[in-house]
Amino acid sequence: MGKAERTRAFIIQKSAPLFNIKGYENTSLSDIQEVTKLTKGAIYGNFKDKNELAIASFEYNCSRVFSEIESVLAEACSAKEALLAFSNFYVKNWKNLSASGGCPILNAAVEADDSLTFLKGSVRNNMEYILGLLKSTIEKGICSLEFRSDVHAGEYASLIFSIVEGNILIAKMMNHPKYLSIMDRRIRLIIEKELLR
Amino acid sequence: MGKAERTRAFIIQKSAPLFNIKGYENTSLSDIQEVTKLTKGAIYGNFKDKNELAIASFEYNCSRVFSEIESVLAEACSAKEALLAFSNFYVKNWKNLSASGGCPILNAAVEADDSLTFLKGSVRNNMEYILGLLKSTIEKGICSLEFRSDVHAGEYASLIFSIVEGNILIAKMMNHPKYLSIMDRRIRLIIEKELLR
Amino acid sequence: MGKAERTRAFIIQKSAPLFNIKGYENTSLSDIQEVTKLTKGAIYGNFKDKNELAIASFEYNCSRVFSEIESVLAEACSAKEALLAFSNFYVKNWKNLSASGGCPILNAAVEADDSLTFLKGSVRNNMEYILGLLKSTIEKGICSLEFRSDVHAGEYASLIFSIVEGNILIAKMMNHPKYLSIMDRRIRLIIEKELLR
Amino acid sequence: MGKAERTRAFIIQKSAPLFNIKGYENTSLSDIQEVTKLTKGAIYGNFKDKNELAIASFEYNCSRVFSEIESVLAEACSAKEALLAFSNFYVKNWKNLSASGGCPILNAAVEADDSLTFLKGSVRNNMEYILGLLKSTIEKGICSLEFRSDVHAGEYASLIFSIVEGNILIAKMMNHPKYLSIMDRRIRLIIEKELLR
DNA sequence: CATGAATGAGTTTTCATTCAT
DNA sequence: TATGAATGAAAACTCATTCAT
């Protein structure tokens, strides 16, 4: 990794939490300057504009969450365990996630839909990515005969994801983790009553 | 209604969609000036600052949705019908809702949690209000012996709401209504399999 | 006194302290509205503009001080006593004067000299008035053979006034009354060594 | 001196007379923009806000006067000559001083006492500085046996300064230098009759 | 005649971005 | 390549004043 790439990575790593907490619009280059201790020139030398940095930071935020989720899914020894581990990931990491601004996909999706349109493509890709992750987990369960063969993997993937996002939203605003346990129980129920043979 | 109150209402009515579409931070007083064709002074004569207008607009946005939901709930002749109507409301109004920025609670909740803290109280109140609406609908179903007596009304209220919000998020970002039909079917399933006697 | 005149007097009476404390430029019509609990229209109905009110308030502030000084001078049974009473007036009233913004002539003179030129004439008149008051007090002392006949009344009047204003300035900024006692002793010394026969 | 420091100094140098003439409150950033031919951003790049610039300008205004006074005091070959030179400085420079807004300490003291409180500390320091200058001049005269040993240096310092400030005020408002000659004669008298052995 | 809603030019300040060094 | 001073447009907000009601 060359120096330029290291600087670029450094800027992203420092800015990403800020963007997730304050929002992409509301995070200024001065904020980024302060948190990186770099000059404007250094930042603009590595990113064409604030939008490029915002996208890179969003993708960094996602990748951080995704890599944890992927390792959690990989460690599971069955599709059921994998889905439960996915749900459990949010329960366990609620405090951290909440302190660092919440789910980056949720945040960026809301900001990107109408105003920060430049982010929209990236948000969509990342949402598709995590939906794909869940879908393929379910498909593996079907292939391995763990899950029923008539299960619509894509629909269950989006259903599970929607329950997660919806409850994260409520939990964050109400400042109470009970919604995450409702979420967790519901996902377990779905797995046991509808997915498992 | 005095002139001041009429102007105030007029400003809110014109600004509210803007706030929901562009976001509260990202909507400027110049935007509001343009959409109301009023001067800054006229706006500041009716609202102490932008925050007050933002809160009023958010509450207007909520009340618009809530009043429609309330009438839909009121028209239903059973608790089951009421909950189905609630879900159906989002399916039917998806285009309108989407065009006017999406669910105001979802939008405001994401913006308010970390940065626009002045909005937080109002968002919480409105979230509690709609959760309360759903909860009391379920409680009525329990009282009328339509729903099982061991149903935890509060948990089902937040579950249904989380499924709605989660799927609105995905549908908006993916620009596809199929997520709303998944949502609708899921809520129907919950009612039939878990709430009804 | 008609109603209009009473309202006018009321506005002046309420605004005058504000102008003296905050300065003429820095006192806004909103401040005046708040302190009088009147409407803009009521204020503009009684004064052509803010400048007219500022002048009237300044003159009210002066007249308040002057009438007290005049009564203090009138009570004195000799020219010496009168001048000492003049000096003593500032010593005694330091706290009140300081709390209500300090000497109105000092304040207005500084503001009026370059920027609030509309006030200049009035400030000059009032400064001349108080200098005249001191001068005629000294002249009375000369006529009554209490003071030496070769005393230049006008010069001693302005000298005494300058010592008063200079020490008020220092006392206010240093927040210490000792400068007023230096002033008082100096004026007494001048009277005894230079004015009295 | 780096570019930033040069620009900072340039802005101060251009703004300082404006602040002294128009007053600190009444000088706007647009005025400063015009007089410096710089953009608002350039000004805010060098000063955190208008207050910081106002303080810096006030101190520049003081330092200009002080350095002249100090050189005048340094050139004097006795304490008497020094005090006379101090007084004479105001007589000689009256036109210049008057044209550039008058004594900065007088102006700032009046503005700072109640409204521009952020300036108060600096005004106090500068007033203390010049009082200290006068006091140490008198003390040197005492040490060198030129002045009487029982002279209270601090009191005479503030007395002389008050006479200067008081007469500057009157001279400015009355637009007549005669008050400065009264001031000058009085200070000479005090030196000859009360300070000299 | 009094009201107070509205005006429009003004205020201070921050923004993303550029470019000579 | 990196610097950081400078830009210019835009931000939120306040002002003295007017005028339809």
Where on strand F do bases come within 7 A of a protein Cβ? Answer: 1-20
SS3 of residue C196 by DSSP: strand
Asked whether the beta carbons of D119 and D108 are under 8 A apart, the reply is yes
> For residues D85 and D174, is the Cβ–Cβ distance under 8 A?
no
Name residue B196's beta-bridge partners. Answer: B147
Q: Is the CB of A9 under 7 A from strand F?
A: no
pLDDT single digits (tens) A126-176? 999 999 999 999 999 999 999 999 999 999 999 999 999 999 999 999 999
pLDDT of residue D11: 97
| Per-window interface: C 81-140 vs D, CB < 8 A | 101-102, 106-107, 109-115, 120, 123-124, 127-128, 131
Give me the percent of chain C exceeding a pLDDT of 90. Answer: 94
Between the alpha carbon of residue A143 and those of residues A64, A134, A137, A196, C54, the distances in Å are 29, 14, 10, 12, 88
- Record the tokens describing residue C58, joined without a space: 């300044």
Give residue-wise pLDDT tens across range B114-167: 889 899 999 999 999 999 999 999 999 999 999 999 999 999 999 999 999 999
CA distance D2 to chain C (A): 35
Size of interface C-D (CB pairs under 8 A): 127
- The answer, yes or no, to whether residue A65 has pLDDT greater than 90, is yes
What pLDDT is stored for residue D154 in this prediction?
Answer: 98
Contact check, Cβ <8 Å, D112/C173: yes
- In a mutational test of the C interface, the residue from D125, D158, D161, D162 whose CB has the highest number of chain C CBs within 10 Å is D162
Q: Are D49 and D4 in contact (CB under 8 A)?
A: no
Which of D114, D155, D174 has the CB atom closest to C101's CB atom? D114
Q: Euclidean distance between the first and final Cα of chain A, in Å?
A: 48
Q: For residue C116, is it left (φ>0), alpha (ψ between -120 and 50) or beta? A: beta
Q: What is the mean pLDDT of residues D26-45?
A: 96
| Chain A nearest CA to B21, separation (Å) | 6
C-alpha C132/C-alpha B66 separation (Å) is 76
Answer for the pair A57, A19: CB distance below 8 angstroms, yes or no: yes
- Write down the pLDDT at residue C1: 64
Measured between beta carbons, the chain B residues lying within 8 angstroms of A128 are: 174
Give pLDDT, residue A4: 77
Chain C residues with beta carbon closer than 8 angstroms to that of D162: 162-163, 166-167, 169-170, 179, 182-183
pTM exceeding the 0.85 threshold for the entire prediction: yes
| Residue B3 contacts strand E, CB under 7 A | yes
Contact between residue A102 and residue B113 where contact means Cβ atoms under 8 Å apart: yes
Band of residue A114 on the pLDDT scale cut at 50, 70, 90: confident
Whole-number Å distance between alpha carbons of D137 and D79: 6
pLDDT at A2 over 80: no
Q: CA-CA distance, A129 to A73, in Å (whole number)?
A: 14
- pLDDT for C5 beyond 90: no
CA angle C56, C59, C65 (to 5 degrees): 145
D3-195 belongs to CATH 1.10.357.10: yes
| Residue of chain B with shortest Cα separation from A116 | B22
Q: What is the pLDDT of residue C114?
A: 84
A73, two tokens: 């899914």
**In C, which residues are within 8 Å of D151 by CB distance?**
none
For the segment C117-144, the average pLDDT, to the nearest whole number, is 97
Label residue C115 by pLDDT band (50, 70, 90). Answer: confident
Please report, for residues A8, A14, A44, A111, B117, the alpha-carbon distance to residue A3 in angstroms, rounded to integers and kept in the order given.
8, 16, 15, 32, 39
In Å, what is the separation between the CA of B62 and the C1' of E4?
A: 31
What residues of chain A lie within 8 A of the CB of B128, using their CB? 174
> E-strand spans in chain D?
none
Q: What pLDDT, on a 0 to 100 scale, did the predictor assign at position D4?
A: 85
**Per-residue confidence (pLDDT) for residue B3, from 0 to 100:** 83
Question: Is the distance from CB of A158 to CB of B170 less than 8 angstroms?
Answer: yes
pLDDT of the residue at C37: 94
Which pLDDT belongs to residue C3?
Answer: 76
Q: Say if D58 is an interface residue toward chain C (CB within 8 Å).
A: no
pLDDT digits (tens, 9 = 90+) for D108-118: 999 998 889 89
Mean pLDDT, chain D, whole residue set: 96
- Is any atom of strand F within 7 angstroms of residue B31's beta carbon? yes
List all nucleotides in chain E with at least one atom under 7 A from a protein Cβ: 1-20
Confidence band of A1 (pLDDT split at 50, 70, 90): low
Residue B127 has its nearest CB partner, among A110, A170, A186, at A170
CA–CA separation, A167 and A171 (whole Å): 6
Distance of CA B125 to the CA centre of its chain: 12
Q: Answer yes or no: do A155 and B182 touch at CB < 8 A.
A: yes
CA-to-CA distance for D31 and B21, rounded, in angstroms?
39
pLDDT exceeds cutoff 90 at C4: no
The reply to whether residue A167 touches residue B158, judged by beta carbons under 8 angstroms, is: yes
pLDDT < 50 positions in chain B: none
Across all strands, nucleotide nearest D43 (CA–C1'): F6
Query: Which has the closest alpha carbon to C174: D105, A117, A6, D75?
Result: D105
Six-digit token pair at C196? 């009295």
Chain D and chain A touch, per 3+ beta carbon pairs within 8 A: no
- Which residues touch B15 (CB under 8 Å, ≥6 apart)? B27, B32, B35, B36, B53, B57
Instruction: Enter the tokens of residue A193.
Output: 């009553």
Alpha carbon distance D142, D80 (integer Å): 11
D36-75 residues near strand F (Cβ < 7 Å):
38-42, 45-46
Interface probe for D, chosen from C168, C173, C178 (most Cβ of D below 10 Å), is C173
Q: Please state whether strand E lies within 7 Å of residue D15 at its CB atom.
A: no
Residue at token pair 């007589």: D91
Q: Flag whether pLDDT at A59 surpasses 80.
A: yes
Q: Could you tell me the sign of the dihedral formed by the alpha carbons of B39, B42, B47, B48, in that order?
A: positive
Q: Return the amino acid letter for A160.
A: I
A115 interaction partners in chain B (CB closer than 8 Å): 21-23, 26
